[in-house]
Amino acid sequence: MALDDAATREFKVVGTRPVRPDGVDKVTGRARFGADAYAPGMLHGAILRSPHAHARILRLDTAAAKAAPGVKAVVTRKDFAEGQTGENWNVLENIMADGKVLYDGHAVAAVAATSVFAARDALKRIVVDYEILPHVTDVDEAMTAGAPVIRGGTADNSVPDSMHPNVVRFHENGHGDVAAGFAEADLVLEESFRTEATHQGYIEPHACLAQLGPDGKGELWCCTQGHFVAAKTCASLLGIDASQLRVTASEIGGGFGGKTTVFIEPVALALSRKANRPVKIVMDRTEVFRATGPTSSASMDVKIGMTRDGRITAGEGSFRLQGGAFPGAPMEFTAMCAFAPYNLDNIRASAWDVMCNRPKQAAYRAPGSPMAAFAVESVIDELCNRLGLDPIEVRLKNASREGTRAAFGPRFQRIGLVETLEAAQAHPHYTAPLGPNQGRGVSCGFWFNHAGETAVSLALAEDGTVSLSVGTPDIGGSRASMCQMAAEALGISYDKVRTTVADTATLGYNDVSHGSRVTYASGLATIRAAEDTIEKLCARAAAQWGIDREAVVWEDGCARPSGPNAGDFEPLSLAKIASRMGRTGGPIVGHYEATPEGAGVSFATHLVDAAVDPETGATKVIRYTVVQDAGKAIHPSYVEGQYQGGAAQGIGWALNEEYVYGEDGRLQNPGFLDYRIPVASDLPMIDTVIVEVPNPGHPYGVRGVGETSICPPLAAIANAVSNAAGVRLRELPMSPPRILAALDAAQTDSG
């Protein structure tokens, strides 16, 4: 698919900053999120969860709960369909344990009752006898001989037989000869890094309202990044037909990857089927932390060689990620992203997917990439320090460009890394003076971006306005950019378009809102559906004028005769043709259904200044600048918002956030008081620079922007903090005790 004319095109609507269409609903409290739905006869569901990290269920007795006041249904694993395979089996195993609980918080039974209180009271009457088993929550320990086996036989054929059964997948990529590359270097550094699991931390807990009858027909309302996938998965887990389950996506209060799968939805459906009444389940915050998908924790070794003049001669990395008690830690992306920003002759990246007694990891914004950047960019920074080189100059010298063979195999098409580095170098931030105990950090970051199955329909109303239906839940203002792209393509004004996130019964299958795909893929689909509509509009005009379709062009929202023999007719506006469409051939609807294949990869460069208090180890980010290639910013305010949000989440990951497990394998901090995400007073303003190097795979040049913004911050902040403290920090989060310990260790070394 070729870039239409983005480089030269003058946009009228794209690139402006209109008020979002769902804005008024969201500032008045009217917008309906997951927990804001109610139904007549509705019951409330609650879920009993394991207090143990690893245990065999010896006895599960729900009789007393069934008899409790107000209780209408109790479900356990046997209320779900058997015969699940692949990822559906993992999802089922995660949402309801069978015989063995695999992590603190793992669901074992659920109750539906006439009130939340009745449901919670009934949970206390369920008797579970556990045989507690040894557990492991640390990735390196889980790989060690003698570590408890979580689920034997899970490993695929990529894992060498000599590995512990908790190691379930292996990935390796690269090219060249790393040993020869290291031999060419003037300085080779090899360092080890660790990052803890963090949670996506969306403010809206998972919530759903389910209704499933004995006839196998159902309705599901839920906050999700992908209602089509929710329908498919739930139908399989309940043993019903996917098309008989209509799923409507509510407004979604944040997802960041964490709402790309299901947790409570199949449970609510199973309860509803048993009670034959609607059932609502709303997670509390503790359940969100204990039983949804945090990101992986990682343990990594990275070795890089550099010449005196800053050329990187070789890079080697070993990445171990745990993804909870299930396969799926995104370690292959860690290995693929690690060296992606650099044009290296010699690369080897190896990665292991390891199971631990923790909740099943879920995607979190560029899954696997931020930790890779943390390790690699920290080593590059240290090499620059030791060789006395400028960190941006070194990155420019080694930067991937169009035609560079990427670490993960193929050659890059048109990319904008160099442009982000040059913009960062030219930014006043880069040369601003620093105060005492302050340091500056630079990092690049990379993410692939994704396209996926996409269907939209664009229907005209008789008054000349447009109803656009998309199948990708709006997680950050995408309805505004869809309206903009439709208006741009049709040549009408922004406020004449309304975009709706259609339910699963209304539109063809759509992949989840993930992989930074929405503005790219649903945007491309919107433009193509508008073109399909224009085709139909021109045909109606041609018929009315009695001329050939080829003699009609679409310009500025009107059909116009064109060419020598077209004749002289007044232009027909979209509104004019639409007003007569019922009598000129019927409703006019444009479509697009396909899996586009042109999501352009994206790069960013971040600059951070941090201050470290050497007395307390406390760190403050005092200045932050994000430079990222957006391809083309459809609504620049929401592009900036993605940049700022990614940076803020990265700041939390770098400095505060971590899953803390006790010796007993229980999560110690399942709440926002102890799992501290950045608050307003923690952060500075976050400056943004939008670089636009058009993606050749999108008609307007769009690249996804949502995920790349979280790739550089861990490393950029670690570099800033390390430069401020005068000692290299290799473990996240860089909490005050860790910084003090590093300062103490450095003093002991030098003393």
Partner 1 sequence: MSMIHVRTTINGDATEFVCDPRETMLDVLRDRLALTGAKEGCGTGDCGACSITLDGQVVCSCLMLAAEAEGTEIRTVEGIAEGEQLHVLQRKFLEHAALQCGICTPGILVASKALLDENPDPTETEIRYWLAGNLCRCTGYDKIIRAVTDAAAEIRETQ
Partner 2 sequence: MVDVVLWGSLRPFADGQEIVSVEAATVGDVLAGLVAAHPGLKPQIDAGVSVAVDGRIISSALGEPVRPDSEVVLMQRLKGG
Chain positions contacting partner 1, by CB under 8 A: 17, 19-20, 22-24, 26-33, 35-36, 38, 115-117, 200-205, 251-256, 282, 284-285, 475-477, 635, 637-638, 640-641, 644-645, 647-649, 671-673, 677-683, 685-686
100 binds, among partner 1, partner 2, none (CB under 5 to 8 A by kind): none
Nearer to partner 1, 617 or 678 (CB): 678
What is the 8-class DSSP label of residue 412?
P
Tokens of residue 603, six digits: 């790069």
706's CB contacts (< 8 A; 6+ apart) are 365, 475, 476, 516, 518, 642, 646
What kind and span of H or E run contains 235?
Answer: helix 227-238
Q: Which helix (H) or strand (E) holds 222?
A: strand 218-222
Matching residue, tokens 């999108």: 698
Binding mask 207-246 for partner 2 (x = CB under 8 A): ----------------------------------------
Question: Could you say which of partner 2, partner 1, none residue 516 binds, taking C-beta under 5 to 8 angstroms by partner kind?
Answer: partner 2
User: Pick from partner 1, partner 2, none: which does 365 bind, CB < 5 to 8 A by kind?
Assistant: partner 2
Q: Which does 80 bind (CB under 5 to 8 A by kind): partner 2, partner 1, none?
A: none
Residue number, 226 or 310, with CB nearest to partner 2: 226
Residue owning tokens 């090499």: 383
Longest Cα separation, the chain: 93
Among 126, 300, 423, 451, binds partner 2 (CB under 8 A): 451
> Residue 338 CB, nearest distance to partner 2 (Å)?
13
Query: For residues 305 and 314, is the Cβ–Cβ distance under 8 A?
Result: yes
Using the structure block, give the residue that is written with the tokens 């670690």: 718
Q: How far is the CB of 199 from partner 1 (least distance, A)?
A: 10
Closest CA to 724 of 640, 642, 613: 613
Q: Which of 597, 749, 750, 751 binds partner 2 (CB under 8 A)?
A: 597
Which CB atom, from 173 or from 504, has the smaller least distance to partner 2?
A: 173
* 363 touching partner 2, by CB under 8 A: yes
Residue type, 658: E
Smallest gap, in angstroms, from Cβ of residue 598 to partner 2? Answer: 7
Asked if 598 interacts with partner 2 (CB under 8 A), we say yes
Considering only the stretches 253-261, 584-592, 672-680, 717-725, report the one whose residues sit in contact with partner 2 under the rule CB under 8 A.
Answer: 253-261
Shortest distance in whole angstroms from residue 295 CB to partner 1: 14
Residue from 364, 545, 638, 659 in contact with partner 2 (CB under 8 A): 364
For residue 697, give the nearest of 472, 415, 491 by alpha carbon.
415
Q: In what helix (H) or strand (E) does residue 431 lie, and over which residues does it extend?
A: helix 428-431
**62 or 260, CB closer to partner 2?**
260
- Name which of 344 and 423 has its Cβ closer to partner 2: 344
Q: Work out whether 55 is an interface residue with partner 2 (CB under 8 A).
A: no
Q: Toward partner 1, which CB reaches closer, 249 or 304?
A: 249
SS3 label, residue 579: helix
Of the two residues 175 and 429, which places its CB atom closer to partner 2 in the complex? 175
Which of helix, strand or coil describes residue 629? strand
Q: Distance between CA atoms of 736 and 738, rounded to whole angstroms?
A: 5
Write down how long the chain is: 751
Distance CA 353, CA 299 (A): 11
- Minimum distance of partner 2 from residue 198's CB (angstroms): 12
Please choose which of partner 2, partner 1, none residue 477 contacts, taking the beta carbon within 5 to 8 angstroms, the exact cut-off set by kind. Answer: partner 1
The least CB distance from residue 427 to partner 2, in Å, is 27
**Which residues 126-185 are close enough to bind partner 2 by CB under 8 A?**
156-158, 170-174
- From CA 683, how far away is CA 689, in angstroms rounded? 18
Residue 202 binds partner 2, judged by CB under 8 A: no
Please, which residue, 365 or 395, has the CB nearer to partner 1?
365
Q: In sequence order, what DSSP letters do the residues of 131-179 get, joined into one string?
A: EE------HHHHTSTTPPPSSTT---TTS-TTS-TTEEEEEEEEES-HH
Residue 252 contact among partner 2, partner 1, none, beta carbon within 5 to 8 Å by kind = partner 1
CA 226 – CA 224 distance, rounded (Å): 5
State yes or no: residue 449 binds partner 2 (CB under 8 A).
yes
**Dihedral of CA 522/523/528/532: which sign?**
positive
Tokens standing for residue 461: 């109303």
Of 340 and 612, which CB lies nearer to partner 2 in the complex structure? 340
* 276 vs 413, beta carbon nearer partner 2: 413
CB of 132 vs partner 1, minimal distance in Å: 28
| DSSP type of residue 77 | G
Report the residue number, 2 or 685, with the smaller CB distance to partner 1.
685
DSSP class per residue in 45-82:
EEEEE-SSSSEEEEEEE-HHHHTSTTEEEEE-GGGS-S
Figure out which of the listed residues 453, 503, 640, 657 binds partner 2, where binding follows CB under 8 A: 453
Check residue 88 for interaction with partner 2 (CB under 8 A): no
Least CB distance from residue 287 to partner 1, whole Å? 11
Rounded to the nearest whole angstrom, what is the least distance from the CB of residue 734 to partner 1 in the complex? Answer: 19
Nearer to partner 2 (CB atom), residue 205 or residue 330 = 330
The DSSP output letter for 731 is B
Query: Distance (Å, rounded) from C-alpha 498 to C-alpha 394?
Result: 48
State how far the Cα of 521 lies from the Cα of 524, in Å rounded to an integer. 5
Q: Convert residues 389-418 into a mask of x (bound to partner 2 by CB under 8 A) and - (unbound).
A: -------------------xxxxxx-----
Binding partner at 115 among partner 1, partner 2, none, C-beta below 5 to 8 Å by kind = partner 1
CB-nearer residue toward partner 1: 594 or 683:
683
Paired residues of 47 in beta bridges: 110
Tokens 């396909």 map to which residue?
A: 594
Are 160 and 170 a contacting pair, CB within 8 Å?
Answer: yes
- Secondary structure element (H or E) that encloses residue 107, with its range: strand 107-113
Q: In what order do the strands lie in the sheet with 454-460?
A: 497-501, 466-470, 454-460, 589-594
Nearer to partner 2, 156 or 535 (CB): 156
The nearest distance, CB 409 to partner 2, in angstroms, is 4
The single residue listed with the structure tokens 């245990």 is 55
Which residues 327-346 are close enough to bind partner 2 by CB under 8 A?
330, 332-333, 336
CA 351 to chain centroid: 21
CB of 532 to partner 2, least distance (A): 19
**CA 277/CA 64 separation, integer angstroms:** 21
Q: Which CB, 333 or 624, lies closer to partner 2?
A: 333
Q: With CB cut-offs between 5 and 8 Å by kind, which of partner 2, partner 1, none does residue 553 bind?
A: none
Q: How far is the CB of 58 from partner 2 (least distance, A)?
A: 35
- Burial of residue 53 (CB within 10 Å: 0-12, 13-18, 19+) is buried
d(CA 54, CA 221): 33
Nearest distance, CB of residue 520 and partner 2, angstroms: 11
CB within 8 A of 28, min separation 6: which ones?
none
**Spatial distance between the Cα atoms of 181 and 342, rounded to a whole number of angstroms:** 14
Q: Report the interface residues with partner 2, using CB under 8 A.
A: 156-158, 170-174, 200, 256-258, 260, 330, 332-333, 336, 348, 350, 363-367, 408-413, 447-453, 514-517, 595, 597-599, 601, 697, 706-707
